[in-house]
Structure 1
C-alpha cells in the first residue's frame, strides 16, 4: 500500500533509519514498502518523555522504528505496570496498546500510546483543577 505524505518546506520525516529533510517548497512523497515512517511532528524526543505515559510512548516509538519489540519489551512491561498502579483508569488503553505490541502492530501501538498521553494529560488537568476547590466544591475564585 502506498503512503502519500505532504511535507512543508523544511519539514523532516523519518523513513526507516533515514531522516529526510524537505527543501524550500512544499513536496508530496509517495512511499511504498514496509519501512517505518514518522513525520517530524509525530516524533517524541527522549528529552520530552517527561511523564509516565510519554516514557511509554517513547519506548513504543523506538520499537516501531526498530521494527521489533524484542529488546524493548522488558522496559515497556515495567513502565506499563508502574502506570497501571498509579492510574488504573488507563487500563483499556494500556491493554489495547499491549495487544498491538504483542501482535507486532507497532504503529497501531504508537497511536494507542498517543491516546495514553492525552488520557494522562486529562488526569493531570483534573488533579490541578481539583486542588483549587474548597470543601463546598466551589472554585477558589467563586463566592459560596
Structure 2
C-alpha cells in the first residue's frame, strides 16, 4: 500500500482538501491513499507576516492552493515563472534544486513541493545571512 503517511501529535491540526481536521488525544498515524488529496500540516504553515523572501512567497502561494484560498489554474503559472527567477540564484548551489520543485508542481504534488521548499528556504536563509554579513563588513563610501 502506498500513499502519504502523516505522523500526527495529539491535538495536531492539518488541512485536507481545504477542510481543517484535528487529531484526537493521542499521537497517531494517518495514511492518505488518494494521490489527488491536498494536505497541509498546520505546524508547517507560514503566517503572512513570515513571508519575507522570494522562496517563502512561493511556499505561501502553494499553501494557499492547498487550503483552497487560491485557485491552482490562476496561480500556478505565476509560481512557475517565479521558479524560473529562483533557478538563476540557486543554480550554482544545485542545478536540480528548482527543477525538482517545478516537476513536483507540474504533477500537482503540492505537499512534496512544500517539503522540498523547506530545504530551499533553509539554503536561502544561509545565502541571505552570508550576503548581509559581507555587506556589513564592507566599509561604507564617504562623500566629501
What is the TM-score when the length of structure 2 is the normalising length? 0.70
Q: Distance in 1 between matches of 2:96 and 2:117?
A: 12
Deviations 1:91-136, CA, capped at 9 Å, x for gaps? 532221112212333322222222221111011111122234368x
1:27 match: 27
Report the alpha carbon displacement of residue 48 of structure 1 after superposing the two structures with TM. Answer: 2.2
C-alpha distance 49-26 of structure 1, shift in aligned 2 (>3 A): same
Where do 5+ consecutive residues of structure 1 fail to align? 136-144
Report the alpha carbon displacement of residue 89 of structure 1 after superposing the two structures with TM. Answer: 4.0
Q: Distance in 2 between matches of 1:119 and 1:47?
A: 20
C-alpha distance 131-101 of structure 1, shift in aligned 2 (>3 A): same
Report the alpha carbon displacement of residue 69 of structure 1 after superposing the two structures with TM. Answer: 4.2
Match of 2:56 among 48, 54, 57: 54
Number of aligned pairs?
Answer: 133
Q: Distance in 2 between matches of 1:89 and 1:32?
A: 36
Report the alpha carbon displacement of residue 87 of structure 1 after superposing the two structures with TM. Answer: 5.9
What is the TM-score when the length of structure 1 is the normalising length? 0.70
Deviations 1:52-83, CA, capped at 9 Å, x for gaps? 110011122334455x8432222203322444
Match of 1:80 among 75, 80, 83: 83
Q: Distance in 2 between matches of 1:81 and 1:37?
A: 25
1:115 match: 119
C-alpha distance 132-45 of structure 1, shift in aligned 2 (>3 A): closer
Aligned-partner SS, 2:28: strand
Where do 5+ consecutive residues of structure 2 fail to align? 140-144
CA contact (8 A) 1:101 1:109 kept: yes
2:142 match: none
Larger Rg: 1
